[in-house]
Amino acid sequence: MTRPIYVALDTPDLERAKAIAARVKNHVGGLKLGLEFFCANGHAGVREMAAYGLPIFLDLKLHDIPNTVAKAVQSLSPLKPAILTIHASGGRAMMEDAKAAAPAGTKVVAVTVLTSLDGTDLASIGLADDPHAQVVRLAGLARDAGIDGIVCSGNEVAAARKAWPGGFFVVPGVRPAGGDIGDQKRVMTPRAALDAGASILVIGRPITAAEDSDTAARAIEATL
Annotated binding site for substrate: 10, 32, 59-68, 115, 175, 184, 204-205
Binding mask 151-180 for ligand OMP (x = CB under 6 A): x--------------------xx-------
Distance (Å, whole) CA 81 – CA 34: 12
Distance separating the N- and C-terminal Cα atoms of the chain: 12
Instruction: Give the one residue of 114, 136, 139, 216 binding ligand OMP; rule: CB under 6 A.
Output: 114
Q: Would you call 59 a catalytic residue per the annotation?
A: yes
Which residues fall in the annotated binding site?
10, 32, 59-68, 115, 175, 184, 204-205
Kindly list the distances between the CA atom of residue 129 and the CA atoms of 33, 120, 163, in Å, as whole numbers in the listed order: 31, 10, 17
Binding mask 59-98 for ligand OMP (x = CB under 6 A): x-x-----------------------x-------------
Size of site (CB under 6 A) for ligand OMP: 19
Residues in the chain: 224
Distance (Å, whole) CA 38 – CA 58: 9
Query: Which residue pairs from 207-212 have beta carbons closer than 8 angstroms and sit at least 24 positions apart in sequence?
Result: 207/5, 207/7, 207/20, 207/24, 208/7, 208/8, 208/9, 208/10, 208/11, 208/20, 212/23
Piece of 87-95, 119-127, 142-150, 201-209 that binds ligand OMP (CB under 6 A):
201-209
Q: Would you call 64 a catalytic residue per the annotation?
A: yes
CA atoms within 13 A on the CB side of 92: 7
Binding mask 6-45 for ligand OMP (x = CB under 6 A): --x-x-----------------------x-----------
Kindly list the distances between the CA atom of residue 191 and the CA atoms of 132, 162, 171, 212, in Å, as whole numbers in the listed order: 20, 19, 12, 21
Q: Tell me whether residue 38 or residue 164 sits nearer to ligand OMP (CB atom).
A: 38
DSSP H or E run through 107: strand 107-111
Q: Would you call 185 a catalytic residue per the annotation?
A: no
The residues annotated with a catalytic role in the active site are 59, 61, 64
Q: Which residues bind ligand OMP (CB under 6 A)?
A: 8, 10, 34, 59, 61, 85, 111, 114-115, 151, 172-173, 182, 184, 202-206
